[in-house]
Structure 1
Amino acid sequence: MGNGSIDRRRWFGAATAAVIGGSSRRASRAQEPPRADPGPVPIHDADGPEVEKTLSEAGFEQIRRLRSNHYLALGDGAESFLRSSLTDCEELLIAYMRHFRDRGFDVKEPEKPLLVTAFADDRSFGKYHKMPSLMQGGAQAVGMYDRATNLLSVFDWRNVPQVSRAANRNVQTVAHEGTHQLTFNTGLLDREADTPTCIVEGLGTYGEPRKVMGPSDLGRMNVQRADDLAKLRRSLPWIPVRQLLADDSTLRAGLYGKVMLAYAESWALVHLLLNDKGRLPGFRGYLAAVKARKDAEHRLDDAREHLGDLEELDRDLQAHAVRLVRAL
Structure 2
Amino acid sequence: MGRAHRPGRRRRIPRPVLVGGAVVVVVALLAGIAVVGSLVTNLFHTVSARPPAVDTRIVVPDESKAAKAAGQAPAESPEHDAAAWLAAQPTTYWLTPEIDPVEEVWDRVAHLAAEAREQDATVSIAVYGLPDRDCGNHSAGGLDPDAYREWTERIGDALRSAPDVRKIVILEPDSIALAPSCGSLDDRARYLRTAVENLRGVDTWIYLDAGHSAWHPADEMAGLLRSTGLLDEVRGVALNVSNYQDTANEFDYAHRLSDLLGGTHAVIDTSRNGAGPAGAQWCNPGGRLVGAASGAYGDGVVDTTLWIKPPGESDGECNGGPAAGTWWPDAAVELTRESR
For normalisation by structure 2, the TM-score amounts to 0.29
For normalisation by structure 1, the TM-score amounts to 0.29
